[in-house]
Amino acid sequence: MTSRVETVPDAGLLGRARFQLGSLGFMAGAFAVDVLLIVGLAVLTGSGYHLAIYGTIGEIEKYATVGALAALSYTLPFLFRNEYRIHDYLEGRRSFRRVFMVWNYAVLSLAVIGFLTKSTGIYSRGWLTVFYVAGLSGMTALSAITGALLGSLIDRGRLSCRRVMLVGSDDEVRRVGDMMIAARAGVRVVAMTALAGPADSDQDGVACTKQLLREAVERARSLHVDDVVLLADWSRDAQIHDIVSAFSALPVSIHLGASNLLGQFSDAHVSRLGAVTALSLTAPPLGPVQALAKRVFDVSVATVALVLLSPLFAAIALAVSLESPGPVFFRQRRRGYRSAEFRIWKFRTMSTLDDGDVIVQASANDARVTRVGRLLRRFNFDELPQLFNVFSGEMSLVGPRPHAVAHDKIFEQRILSYPRRLNVLPGITGWAQVNGHRGRTETDDAMRARVDYDLYYIDN
């Protein structure tokens, strides 16, 4: 049995403060900076644009109002997902892709609010365009600067968020210690203690382990440890109980390190189910508040879109009916949330209306596709009637694209993770389509790539 200690030099006043990872103070500060920057950019771009174009700065309170609404729409997704913690900036959760998606959501929310309140004519489109670009640039830069600043403070020892002691088997302590040191995630391993293995279970080994634990507790106290991570074998209840009992004498957080299996689940947590205490590995992709917010957004946008696009719908319906006999709309069985079947709305683009156990996907020069249908498919106009499915709650604006039931039955047998696509509402468009995975899926590999993107969307 051995023990190793890595002593960390004093980090100065800021280091001794040891700001806690995810502390309420940092979260509140980061949230406030986001709000102030967005409101400030709205006022700055609004007054600057109007001064340049009209010779006057205009009404600053109107710019501030737009900025406040944009700030609220931008910060809510991060608040819902608890992404204002220090390690969210350090571990890449504030990447350009994430900021781009949330900022576009915020601006789209502004457009919906403006339409519903009939206030879109009050504001200059030129200024709103400038504000969009400035906001996206500003929030991207802020996230990058914050992450770089936090990383620099940690590298120089000026910021030590959490001081950690690792306790467990020698190999596991070494492995996890190397991982935590390389992760640069705002924690500092200040001590590592290797305990006896299964072969040292005789009386001498037990006595030596207890002595080692007493020394480890004193070491943790002298090093001002914040967290103790136990990397012991979960099946060794007695040893874990002894370790927890020993370190309970200190005002520290005690964590049971994840096994290889548990480590695959990033949101695992302890929960209570009646009288049972359980380790929850997964949860529904959307909580009640998130689901409600998504539904309100879907209904609002679908309503606006159906009103604005009604002339286009009428023109397409006329063109479809004039070119070839048959219905204007094509209805086909698809699977949605929890595998519930529904009939999707599409403009008819083919001379056939396949909806059986065998469905042949359309190819590049498919003779079944009409001339009008070819044009509709080129611009994806045939998908627009799915706004009716969104309005009725069978689909969402964004989500995994629903496939014909016949195709679902084929791919769920070939791709193990395929059924997980139905853990959320299917969408008119999705993360897979944005990344180029659209149209015909001729091979299992093509479908597997699409599924990977769909599951990334669901998990994030």
Residue 201's pLDDT band, with cuts at 50, 70 and 90, is low
Which pLDDT tens digit goes with each residue over 337-391?
A: 988 999 999 999 988 777 766 677 776 677 788 999 999 988 889 999 999 999 9
Secondary structure class of 272 (helix, strand, coil)? strand
Question: Which residue from 137, 40, 145, 134 is spatially nearest to 90, judged by alpha carbons?
Answer: 145
Please say whether the beta carbons of 57 and 50 come within 8 A.
Answer: yes
Burial (CB count within 10 angstroms: exposed 0-12, middle 13-18, buried 19+), residue 110 = buried
Q: Which amino acid is at 33?
A: V
DSSP 82: T
Query: Rounded to 10 degrees, what is the CA torsion of 50, 55, 59, 62?
Result: -10
Residue 9 has pLDDT above 60, yes or no: no
Residue 147 has pLDDT above 60, yes or no: yes
Residue 26 has pLDDT above 70, yes or no: yes
Question: What residues are paired with 256 via a beta bridge?
Answer: 230
Which region among 114-123, 198-207, 268-277, 397-406 has the lowest average model confidence (pLDDT)? 198-207
β-bridge pairing 396-398 and 341-347: unpaired
- Count of other CB atoms within 10 angstroms of residue 98: 19
Which pLDDT tens digit goes with each residue over 383-425?
A: 999 999 999 999 999 999 998 888 888 888 889 888 989 899 9
Q: Which amino acid is at 305?
A: A
Residue 211's pLDDT band, with cuts at 50, 70 and 90, is confident
Please say whether the beta carbons of 1 and 194 come within 8 A.
Answer: yes
Rounded (5°) CA angle 428-136-91? 85
User: Between 197 and 316, whose confidence is greater?
Assistant: 316
User: Between 426 and 268, whose confidence is greater?
Assistant: 426
**Residue linked to tokens 């504001």:** 123
Q: How far is CA 298 from the centre of its chain?
A: 18
Residue 11's pLDDT band, with cuts at 50, 70 and 90, is very low
Which pLDDT tens digit goes with each residue over 245-284?
A: 889 888 888 888 875 666 666 667 787 777 787 878 777 8
Phi-psi region of 418 (alpha: psi -120 to 50; beta: other; left: phi over 0): alpha
What pLDDT was estimated at residue 390? 96
Residue 148's pLDDT band, with cuts at 50, 70 and 90, is confident
Q: How far is CA 79 from the centre of its chain?
A: 12
Q: How far apart are CA 232 and CA 239, in angstroms?
A: 8
Q: How far apart are CA 162 and CA 240, in angstroms?
A: 22
Q: How far apart are CA 450 and CA 460, in angstroms?
A: 16
Residue 4's pLDDT band, with cuts at 50, 70 and 90, is very low
Please say whether the beta carbons of 189 and 168 come within 8 A.
Answer: no
Residue 69's pLDDT band, with cuts at 50, 70 and 90, is very high
Instruction: Retrieve residue 107's tokens.
Output: 């601006």
Residue 144 has pLDDT above 50, yes or no: yes
Residue 159's pLDDT band, with cuts at 50, 70 and 90, is low
- DSSP symbols for 284-335: -SS-HHHHHHHHHHHHHHHHHHHHHTHHHHHHHHHHHHHHSSS-SEEEEEEE
What pLDDT was estimated at residue 348? 93
What pLDDT was estimated at residue 87? 73
Q: Per-residue pLDDT averaged across 204-211, rounded?
A: 73
Helices 60-80 and 24-54, interaxial angle, to 10°?
A: 150
Question: What residues are paired with 191 via a beta bridge?
Answer: 5, 165
**Residue linked to tokens 């190793």:** 4
Percent of the chain at pLDDT exceeding 70: 85
How many residues appear in the chain?
Answer: 460
Which pLDDT tens digit goes with each residue over 175-188?
A: 888 887 776 566 77
Q: How far apart are CA 460 and CA 306, in angstroms?
A: 29
Percent of the chain at pLDDT exceeding 90: 33
What pLDDT was estimated at residue 120? 66
pTM: 0.56
Residue 197 has pLDDT above 60, yes or no: no
What pLDDT was estimated at residue 5? 43
CA 322 vs CA 313, 317, 319, 327: distances in Å: 14, 9, 5, 11
Q: How far apart are CA 112 and CA 73, in angstroms?
A: 12
